Amino acid sequence: MLLDTAPASKRLISITPLIDVVFILLLFFMLSSVFNKTTRLEVITAGASSGKAVSDKQHTLILLADDYVTLDGQRFSLGDGAYLRRLSLLAEQGDMLRVAARSGVSVQALVSLLDELQRMGLANIKLGPTKKQ
């Protein structure tokens, strides 16, 4: 018995140029894609009101070079336990913290400090101009 089989369909599009184009697209997207997300860090400028309930107490935090800070005139290293405990206390009390950098401190160091303070729960932070040495 003879079976009536359909003839094999002829390929209309050559696959090689298609792969070439896809590779070029892949290279383009691999090289030009950016995966880092752009975010923002909110700071209240000194002299403005944050709009949040603030206690009467104000404290001053000055970021020095080489990972040191002064909190109300007392010098700490950034990882110091006593410094972190004091910041936690300030966060609990809702005290206002005026933050400034000493001249020569990089923007990255200042942003890292502000980021850490916000993550510790300090809501009333005001950023002021740098302090000259």
Partner 1 sequence: MKVITPAPSNRSNNQLDESMIPAINIVFLLLIFFMIAGHIEARTDQLKMPVSQSSLTLKDDAVTIQILNDGRYIVNGSPVSGELHDTLGPLVTGTDAVVTCKVDKHLSAEVLDPILNTVRDLGIQQLNIATEQRL
> Which listed residue (64, 110, 117, 125) binds partner 1 by CB under 8 A?
110
The encoded tokens of residue 50 equal 């944050």
The least CB distance from residue 65 to partner 1, in Å, is 10
Q: What's the rounded Cα separation, in Å, for the pair 84 and 117?
A: 10
Residues 6+ apart with CB under 8 A from 133: 102, 103, 104
25 vs 82, beta carbon nearer partner 1: 25
> Does position 71 bind partner 1 by CB under 8 A?
no
Q: What's the rounded Cα separation, in Å, for the pair 26 and 85?
A: 51
> Does position 127 bind partner 1 by CB under 8 A?
yes
Span near partner 1 by CB under 8 A; candidates 41-49, 53-61, 74-82, 85-93: 41-49
5 vs 108, beta carbon nearer partner 1: 108
End-to-end CA distance of the chain: 102
